[in-house]
Chains A and B, each alone.
Chain A
Amino acid sequence: MRKKYWLWVLLVGLAIGGLLVAGCAAKGPQTVKVGVILPLTGSEAMFGAMEKNSFLMAYEELKAAGKTNIKGKEIELLFEDDQGKQDVAKAAAEKLVNQDKVVMLSGGYTSSCTKVIAGSAQSMGIPFLIVTGSADDITKSGWQWVFRGTAAPASKYTGALWDMMEKVIKPQRVALIFENTDFGTSSAKAFRKACEDRGIKLVFDQAYEHGALDFKPMLANMKQTNPDVVFAVSYVMDAAMIVKQMKELDLNTNLVIGGGAGYTMPEFRQNAGDASEYVASVSLWVPNVAWPGAKEYFEKYKQKYGSEPDYHGAQAYATMYIIADVLNRAQDLTPEGIRKALKETNLTTIMGPIKFEDWEGFTNQSRPTTYVVQWLKGKLEVVWPENVASAKYVFPVPKWKERG
Chain B
Amino acid sequence: MSAFTHPYFVHALLAGTAIALAAGLVGYFLVLRAQVFTGDALSHVAFTGALAALALGYDLRLGLFAATVLFAVVLGALGRRSRADDVAIGSLFSWILGLGVFFLTLYTTSRNAANGTAGVNVLFGSIFGLSSGQAELAAVVAGVICLTVLAVARPLLFASVDEAVATARRVPVRLLGLAFLILVGACAAEATQAVGSLLLLGLLAAPAGAAQRLTDRPYHALALSAGLAVAEMWAGLALSYYVPQLPPSFAIMAVATAVYAAALVATRGPHARLGLAEA
A, B bound:
no
A-contacting residues of B (Cβ < 8 Å)?
A: none
Q: A residues near B, CB below 8 A?
A: none
